[in-house]
């Protein structure tokens, strides 16, 4: 059965509408309706969107250009797919440009040549036919989701590479990979537009790229940042929201889920599991600069330390040159892993971590014996205390206030610098890319073996899996390293 194409003719002159209907009545597969102006047209369009709108430019109440603007206003709306042909007595170039800039797909000048009008309508038929076919393919593609990747929260180096490698290994197994556009939030919203189909093989991508929502994953293997993620969706702690996400997963017949991220993402997927049948396989891959997942290396931590150490080295050089003291806030909400290891790598003078017990008087006395100094303070240092006091200061500034509170004069100029987020946008180094490959491969193997609720782990070169119920998100630093991080009060 051939498709019917709905054409809406919009003109305030009845004679013009009658003429266009007469010209088009012999074109097969057209269903024609009329509107007397733009306002009347929008009412009919919202009630039942046509495929093609044939619209006069000059009309009372709402002209053709404004009608076109309203139809094309929202690119995500189904109305934006309507093929709009403007008809005008004006043949000026600027009029055509104005109409095209509002989204018009074609422009005809009066008097209208019947053969040309028929030809332009047939062009509209072909284009809307392609759109309809692609839309149908999209609906079918997202009706049932095989393996779904969910990324949420931070933006550690390695999010994109691990996504590419997961897609590569699953595709080699004959599985199909999908992802939410905006983490858990997309699961809750649950529309077709909230998902993408990831394709690694370039030949397969060429066959599918005409379908909205198909994304080529191969280039992600070298990209910075996280293409498919959102800011942490804080409402996801609510059970009602988690249940809504679970309903989307069941409605889409998702067979497996791979959550990618840090401690917040793990807590989110762990909570979601209680509303999912055990037949749905669920995995977690740790990607976090601060290595806040215990028992394993985390994708992103190696790049983070490398970049963090280099930033500290720059401050140390400036401190030596200008005889200054720098207090730097660095990443480290709970354990202070990033702050500690960046400090050690650059040989800064002191690392102050979230759980550090500091003798502030001793620190000030040590500062006064030096010409220069760099102190690294983890962002989580006394965070609860700062919030309880209602202080809007970063960890570096708060630590400096504590030094001043000793009442001892600090003889050197002290500069406090807040946490710099450019580390998150760093290109993942080879160590993190290799770790991403290992974890992606292992997850694919776990999926194939039929296991579930596990996380791939790598420690001291050894690969293993950690069950969800044994994963801890309080990865505290080794106490032995704290001695190495103090070159200020423990004199060399």
134: Cβ contacts below 8 Å, ≥ 6 apart: 210, 211, 212
Check residues 480 and 273 and name the one with the higher pLDDT: 273
Whether 294 shows a pLDDT value over 50: the answer reads: yes
Residue 477: per-residue pLDDT: 67
As a whole number, the mean pLDDT across the chain is: 91
Confidence of residue 420 (pLDDT cuts 50, 70, 90): confident
Nearest to 166 by CA among 221, 90, 211: 221
- Alpha carbon of 107 to those of 5, 64, 67, 207, 374: distances in Å? 19, 11, 14, 32, 67
| pLDDT, tens digit (0-9, with 9 covering 90-100), for 305-319 | 999 999 999 999 999
326: Cβ contacts below 8 Å, ≥ 6 apart: 315, 316, 318, 319, 373, 374, 375, 414, 415, 416, 417
Per the structure block, which two tokens stand in for 418?
């807040």
Residue 475: per-residue pLDDT: 63
Residue 230: per-residue pLDDT: 65
Residue 424: per-residue pLDDT: 84
| pLDDT, tens digit (0-9, with 9 covering 90-100), for 58-76 | 998 899 989 999 998 887 7
Residue 1: per-residue pLDDT: 47
Whether 233 shows a pLDDT value over 90: the answer reads: no
- CB-CB neighbours of 75 under 10 Å: 9
Confidence of residue 348 (pLDDT cuts 50, 70, 90): very high
Residue 258: per-residue pLDDT: 98
- Per-residue pLDDT averaged across 93-100, rounded? 84
Check residues 367 and 81 and name the one with the higher pLDDT: 367
Record the pTM: 0.78
- Per-residue pLDDT averaged across 94-115, rounded? 88
Q: How far apart are the C-alpha atoms of 183 and 187, rounded to whole Å?
A: 7
Residue 181: per-residue pLDDT: 93
- Per-residue pLDDT averaged across 196-205, rounded? 96
| pLDDT, tens digit (0-9, with 9 covering 90-100), for 421-475 | 788 888 999 999 999 999 999 999 999 999 999 999 999 889 999 999 999 887 6
Q: How far apart are the C-alpha atoms of 260 and 265, rounded to whole Å?
A: 7
- Per-residue pLDDT averaged across 15-19, rounded? 93
- Per-residue pLDDT averaged across 275-295, rounded? 93
Confidence of residue 100 (pLDDT cuts 50, 70, 90): confident
| pLDDT, tens digit (0-9, with 9 covering 90-100), for 371-411 | 999 999 999 999 999 999 999 899 999 999 999 999 999 98
Nearest to 205 by CA among 252, 166, 168: 168
Specify the DSSP class assigned to residue 479.
Answer: H
Whether 260 shows a pLDDT value over 50: the answer reads: yes
Q: How far apart are the C-alpha atoms of 281 and 454, rounded to whole Å?
A: 9
- C-alpha torsion 38→41→47→51, nearest 10: -120
Per the structure block, which two tokens stand in for 464?
């293993």
Whether 103 shows a pLDDT value over 50: the answer reads: yes
Q: Are strands 195-199 and 281-286 parallel, antiparallel or unpaired?
A: unpaired
Q: Which residue ranges form the domains of the chain, and what is each CATH number?
A: 5-141 (3.40.50.2300), 144-299+429-459 (3.40.50.450), 307-425+479-484 (3.40.50.460)
Residue 447: per-residue pLDDT: 97
Dihedral-angle region of residue 29 (phi above 0 means left; psi in -120 to 50 means alpha; beta otherwise):
left
CB-CB contact of 288 with 154 (8 Å): yes
Q: What element of type H or E holds 256?
A: strand 256-261
């Amino acid at each position: 059965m051939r498709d019917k194409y709905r054409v809406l003719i919009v003109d305030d002159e009845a004679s013009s509408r009658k003429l266009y209907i007469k010209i088009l009545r012999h074109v097969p597969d057209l269903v024609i309706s009329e509107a007397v102006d733009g306002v009347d047209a929008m009412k009919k369009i919202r009630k039942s969107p046509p495929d093609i709108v044939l619209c006069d430019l000059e009309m009372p109440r709402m002209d053709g250009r404004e009608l076109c603007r309203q139809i094309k206003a929202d690119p995500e709306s189904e109305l934006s797919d309507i093929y709009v042909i403007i008809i005008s007595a004006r043949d000026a170039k600027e009029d055509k440009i104005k109409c095209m800039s509002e989204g018009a797909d074609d422009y005809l000048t009066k008097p209208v040549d019947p053969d040309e009008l028929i030809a332009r309508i047939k062009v509209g038929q072909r284009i809307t036919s392609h759109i309809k076919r692609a839309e149908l393919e999209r609906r079918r593609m997202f009706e049932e989701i095989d393996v779904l990747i969910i990324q949420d929260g931070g933006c550690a180096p390695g999010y994109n590479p691990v996504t590419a490698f997961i897609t590569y290994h699953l595709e080699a197994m004959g599985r199909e990979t999908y992802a939410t556009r905006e983490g858990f939030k997309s699961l809750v919203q649950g529309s077709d537009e909230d998902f993408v189909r990831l394709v690694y093989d370039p030949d397969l991508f060429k066959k599918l790229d005409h379908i909205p929502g198909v994304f080529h994953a191969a280039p992600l293997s070298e990209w910075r940042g996280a293409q498919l993620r959102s800011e942490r969706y804080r409402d996801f702690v609510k059970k009602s929201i988690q249940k809504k996400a679970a309903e989307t997963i069941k409605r889409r017949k998702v067979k497996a889920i791979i959550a990618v991220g840090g401690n917040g993402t793990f807590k989110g997927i762990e909570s979601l599991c209680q509303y999912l049948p055990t037949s749905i396989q669920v995995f977690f891959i740790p990607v976090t600069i601060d290595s806040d997942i215990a028992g394993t290396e985390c994708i992103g931590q190696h790049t983070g330390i490398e970049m963090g150490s280099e930033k500290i080295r720059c401050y140390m050089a400036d401190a030596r040159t200008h005889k200054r003291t720098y207090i730097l806030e660095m990443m480290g909400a709970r354990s202070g892993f990033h702050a500690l290891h960046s400090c050690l790598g650059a040989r800064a003078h002191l690392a102050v971590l979230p759980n550090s017990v500091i003798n502030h008087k001793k620190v000030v006395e040590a500062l006064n014996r030096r010409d220069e100094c760099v102190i690294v303070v983890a962002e989580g240092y006394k965070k609860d205390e700062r919030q309880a006091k209602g202080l809007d200061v970063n960890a570096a500034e708060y630590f400096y206030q504590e030094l001043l509170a000793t009442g001892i004069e600090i003889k050197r100029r002290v500069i406090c610098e807040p946490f710099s987020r450019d580390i998150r946008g760093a290109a993942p180094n080879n160590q993190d890319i290799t770790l991403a490959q290992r974890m992606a491969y292992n997850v694919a193997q776990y999926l194939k073996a039929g296991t579930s609720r596990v996380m791939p782990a790598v420690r001291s070169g050894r690969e293993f899996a950690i069950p969800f119920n044994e994963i801890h998100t309080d990865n505290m630093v080794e106490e032995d390293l704290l001695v190495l991080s103090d070159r200020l009060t423990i004199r060399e």
